[in-house]
Amino acid sequence: MTRRSAATTGGSAPTAPGGTADLVLLGGAVLTMDETGSRADAVAVADGRILAVGARAEIEPLIGEGTRVIELDGRALLPGINDSHLHATWLGARWPHTFFGAPDPEAAAQVSGVLAADREARRTAILTAGRMLSEVGITSYTEPGIGPGEDDGETGCFHSEVLDVYRELAAAGELRQRVTMLALYGVLDGPSDVETVLSGIRERAAAAPEPDPAWLNMPGVKIFGDLIPLSRQAWTERPYDDGTHGDLLVNGDSIEQKAERLAEMIRSAHAAGLQIGLHATGDRTIGLALDAIADAAAQPGAPSAQQLGHVIIHGDLATAEQVRRMAELGVWLNAQPGIASITGAWLTAMMGPDAAAEAWQFGAALDAEVLVLSSDAPVLHHDWRHWIAAAEERIVAMGGDASPDAARARLHRLLRAYTAVPAAQDRAASWKGTVEVGKVADLVVLASDPFEVGAAGLPEVPVDLTVLDGRVIFER
């Protein structure tokens, strides 16, 4: 058993009064999601932190009069799920009308106009999403793109005021997830004006940190590189069916000028010490971004790309070579496996079978240790269990080893891509993302061990319980 002070990292005694835990969960498969895939039987929690992880007999002495004891009865316990690219305000406002897989696709297609017009509506949307996400074990997410770029936006879900509402909820202790947010100075899914984005980057770099970054943190900016292949607007080496190569989402007279302006935004954000979440799907856009990041990191006195943890968001057409380069630079690939399963045939029609066969390099990204998984809800449903299954399906379809041993090892890494790795994307791996002593007690209990059913069976495994900061916030 490992046991250490909850409040400090160097102490040797628990800080709970009398050495007892507030909450103990025991008699199950504790999947710590550390790198080696270590397991235990029981966990003790005190003051919102993990007090001890070990065998049942080692944890039982920490049970006192005030301890809530939960018998796991063989169920699995994992770190809370971190959906590292999820538009919670938009999800809450649109629900249940996701873009793909909605219960009533016709009704979903008709949703338009302002969905969250004012402070109250924005608050309701965030709280609605927060409850839904708790029900599937999500305890952290990244809200990628809130800010002045969308103050006149159609839906109202990305308006600057959304940040004010998050601040209020964080201060009142009402958030049901830990939130990382990226600031948006350009418009959503439209061309950015370079001067507007550059002045936004300066403004963000000068902004004071959030008062409690463990609950609400704003480490950087969202920048739009290009759009998506399905609208022929990803900037690509391969031509589309109409002979074009797509475009960049930057105002400019020529593709060369747009490329230089995008590179300038990336270099400026890096020089300012901001994390960049770059919406990029085409291989040419991704190549440009990696060059710009490498240039920025090579400047004297500049932080490394690793320190800032930039994120290529979507990266649908990233090549295997680009994925390896991301690993060298320390750049994350934040991907949505559901998009691969839902739009694969569509991509074949737009770009041909070779492009579709080489898209969505989840296996290469997993091997390179840069893969972070997310839902992009409300584009897709927020249920991560489906997207782990979809990632496995895609990797095997691309020639990944389908033997039981390889599948088990891969399931461990896919689960990490929804827990430990997004914590690293959040630059918070030292205090969340695994079940280890001293880390925050954000936990999820599944009705059975995912390794018994495999990735394909995971969507059928119910989520039984969600613990946030040591408090049970959802019970099935």
In this structure, is the dihedral angle defined by the CA atoms of residues 451, 452, 458 and 461, taken in order, positive or negative? negative
- Taking the complex as a whole, the smallest distance from the CB of residue 132 to Zn ion amounts, in Å, to 17
The span from the CA of 334 to the CA of 71, in Å, is 35
**Nearer Cβ to Zn ion, position 376 or 383?**
376
Question: Which region among 4-12, 252-260, 374-382, 407-415 touches Zn ion (by CB under 5 A)?
Answer: 374-382
**What are the backbone dihedrals phi and psi of residue 132, each rounded to the nearest 5 degrees, phi first?**
-60, -40
**Nearer Cβ to Zn ion, position 377 or 463?**
377
- Taking the complex as a whole, the smallest distance from the CB of residue 305 to Zn ion amounts, in Å, to 22
**Nearer Cβ to Zn ion, position 178 or 222?**
222
Q: Are 217 and 229 in contact (CB under 8 A)?
A: no
Q: Give the closest residue to 171 by CA, choosing from 119, 216, 134.
A: 216
- Taking the complex as a whole, the smallest distance from the CB of residue 17 to Zn ion amounts, in Å, to 45
The span from the CA of 88 to the CA of 182, in Å, is 13
Binder among 41, 376, 392, 464 for Zn ion (CB under 5 A): 376
**Closest residue to Zn ion, Cβ-based?**
376
DSSP 179-222: EEEEEE-S-TTSPBPHHHHHHHHHHHHHSPPPS-TTTEEEEEEE
- Is cis: bond before 96, omega within 30 of 0? yes
**Nearer Cβ to Zn ion, position 83 or 376?**
376
Residue span 245-274 as binding mask against Zn ion, x where in contact by CB under 5 A, dash where not:
------------------------------
Question: Which region among 294-302, 359-367, 371-379, 396-404 touches Zn ion (by CB under 5 A)?
Answer: 371-379
Tokens describing residue 428 = 């918070």
Note whether 316 binds Zn ion by CB under 5 A: no
- Taking the complex as a whole, the smallest distance from the CB of residue 97 to Zn ion amounts, in Å, to 16
Place of tokens 């791996």: 429
- Taking the complex as a whole, the smallest distance from the CB of residue 280 to Zn ion amounts, in Å, to 12
The span from the CA of 75 to the CA of 52, in Å, is 18
- Taking the complex as a whole, the smallest distance from the CB of residue 315 to Zn ion amounts, in Å, to 12
- Taking the complex as a whole, the smallest distance from the CB of residue 89 to Zn ion amounts, in Å, to 12
Q: Are 454 and 411 in contact (CB under 8 A)?
A: yes
- Taking the complex as a whole, the smallest distance from the CB of residue 86 to Zn ion amounts, in Å, to 8
Note whether 83 binds Zn ion by CB under 5 A: no
**Nearer Cβ to Zn ion, position 42 or 313?**
313
Question: Which region among 101-109, 303-311, 376-384, 394-402 touches Zn ion (by CB under 5 A)?
Answer: 376-384
Tokens describing residue 111 = 């949703």
The span from the CA of 339 to the CA of 283, in Å, is 17
Question: Which region among 31-39, 200-208, 375-383, 426-434 touches Zn ion (by CB under 5 A)?
Answer: 375-383
- Taking the complex as a whole, the smallest distance from the CB of residue 336 to Zn ion amounts, in Å, to 8
Question: Which region among 30-38, 88-96, 373-381, 397-405 touches Zn ion (by CB under 5 A)?
Answer: 373-381
**Nearer Cβ to Zn ion, position 41 or 376?**
376
353: number of Cβ within 10 Å? 10
- Taking the complex as a whole, the smallest distance from the CB of residue 310 to Zn ion amounts, in Å, to 16
Question: Which region among 24-32, 284-292, 347-355, 372-380 touches Zn ion (by CB under 5 A)?
Answer: 372-380
**Nearer Cβ to Zn ion, position 376 or 442?**
376
The count of chain residues that interact with Zn ion, using the rule CB under 5 A, is: 1
Question: How far from the centroid of its chain's Cα atoms is residue 118's Cα?
Answer: 27
For 121-139, letters b (16+ CB in 10 Å) and e give: bbbebbbbbbebbbbbbbb
Report CA-CA distances (Å) from 122 to 129, 161, 169, 193, 304: 11, 8, 11, 27, 36
**Nearer Cβ to Zn ion, position 360 or 451?**
360
Q: Give the closest residue to 219 by CA, choosing from 186, 245, 181.
A: 181
Residue span 191-230 as binding mask against Zn ion, x where in contact by CB under 5 A, dash where not:
----------------------------------------
Q: Are 52 and 437 in contact (CB under 8 A)?
A: yes
- Taking the complex as a whole, the smallest distance from the CB of residue 269 to Zn ion amounts, in Å, to 18
Note whether 426 binds Zn ion by CB under 5 A: no
Note whether 150 binds Zn ion by CB under 5 A: no
CA dihedral 217, 444, 7, 21 (to 10 degrees): 150
- Taking the complex as a whole, the smallest distance from the CB of residue 85 to Zn ion amounts, in Å, to 6
In this structure, is the dihedral angle defined by the CA atoms of residues 404, 409, 415 and 417, taken in order, positive or negative? negative
Q: Give the closest residue to 50 by CA, choosing from 109, 119, 2.
A: 2
**Nearer Cβ to Zn ion, position 367 or 376?**
376
Query: Contact residues for Zn ion (CB under 5 A)?
Result: 376
